[in-house]
């Protein structure tokens, strides 16, 4: 969109959830993300991450106590970012479940398409220790709750026609989460186009009218 020429840049806080600035990663986490993406979690060694970032292994251990610590740090940054955006997108929809759901799906899909590498770490969650997996799931549950509340509100008000709000919520998140699998490979659409299409599909899925 860009700012109107000649006018001072205005910061529209209500639209922040659409802006996809890079998640700020430390050099160590940035190198970890590259390595996990290219080599997989199990194929990555702490030594390899240290090599990529140009520090010694002990220096790396000073900041992160294990390879699992690196994965957890990335997952938490990534999930916290999408959770914050989902909340803002929800709030920007006011009282209208249709607008709220469209916004939240748009926010989630924008992140899946713009940050496919970070989003694809999700597939590595099963390698975490039981304790860390639980901790991570609790954060992710927050995103599920945002969507579930909208689906429930829309169903209660008659704006949506949904039989099973919990399962429908999971299906909606599932369609978004699968996007990184094909987006890079075949994407001729911009992230914004994909996001708008998925928002429309989500509204059909909840029988919005």
Q: Interface residues with a second copy (CB under 8 A)?
A: 39-44, 120, 122-127, 137, 161-164, 167-168, 170-179, 181-182, 185, 194, 197-198, 200-201, 204-207
In the complex, the smallest distance separating the C-beta of residue 2 from a second copy, rounded to whole angstroms, is: 27
**Residue spans of beta strands (DSSP E) within 76-123:** none
Q: How far is the CB of 65 from a second copy (least distance, A)?
A: 20
- Compute the least distance from the CB of residue 4 to a second copy, in Å: 32
Q: Rounded to whole angstroms, how far apart are CA atoms 92 and 90?
A: 5
Report in angstroms how near the CB of residue 94 gets to a second copy at its nearest: 25
Written as one string, the DSSP assignment of 143-179 is HHHHHHHHHHHHHHHTS---S-HHHHHHHHHHHHHTH
Q: For 150, what's the count of Cα atoms within 13 Å in the CB-facing half-sphere?
A: 33
Q: Is the dihedral of CA 197, 201, 204, 206 positive or negative?
A: negative
139, 207 contact by CB (below 8 A): no
Of the pair 16, 123, the CB lying nearest a second copy is at 123
C-beta closer to a second copy: residue 16 or 127: 127
Name the residue among 104, 101, 110, 112 with its Cα closest to residue 192: 110
Residue 26 or residue 157: which is nearer to a second copy going by CB?
A: 157
Q: Which is nearer to a second copy, 17 or 160 (CB)?
A: 160
Shortest distance, CB of residue 166 to a second copy, whole angstroms?
10
Measured from the CB atom, the residue of 92 and 128 that comes closer to a second copy is 128
């Amino acid at each position: 969109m860009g700012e109107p020429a000649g006018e001072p840049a205005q910061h529209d806080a209500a639209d922040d959830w659409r802006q996809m600035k890079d998640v700020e990663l430390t050099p160590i986490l940035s190198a970890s993300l590259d390595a996990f993406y290219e080599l997989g979690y199990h194929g990555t060694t702490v030594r390899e991450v240290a090599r990529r970032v140009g520090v010694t292994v002990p220096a790396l251990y000073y900041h992160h106590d294990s390879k699992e610590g690196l994965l957890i740090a990335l997952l938490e940054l990534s999930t916290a970012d999408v959770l914050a955006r989902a909340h803002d997108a929800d709030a920007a929809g006011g009282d209208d479940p249709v607008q709220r759901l469209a916004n939240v799906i748009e926010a989630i899909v924008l992140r899946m398409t713009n940050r496919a590498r970070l989003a694809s770490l999700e597939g590595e969650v099963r390698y975490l220790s039981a304790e860390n997996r639980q901790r991570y799931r609790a954060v992710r549950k927050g995103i599920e709750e945002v969507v579930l509340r909208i689906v429930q509100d829309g169903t209660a008000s008659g704006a949506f026609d949904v039989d099973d709000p919990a399962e429908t919520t999971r299906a909606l998140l599932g369609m978004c989460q699968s996007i990184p699998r094909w987006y890079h490979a075949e994407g001729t659409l911009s992230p914004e186009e994909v996001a708008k299409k998925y928002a429309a599909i989500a509204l059909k899925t909840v029988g919005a009218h």
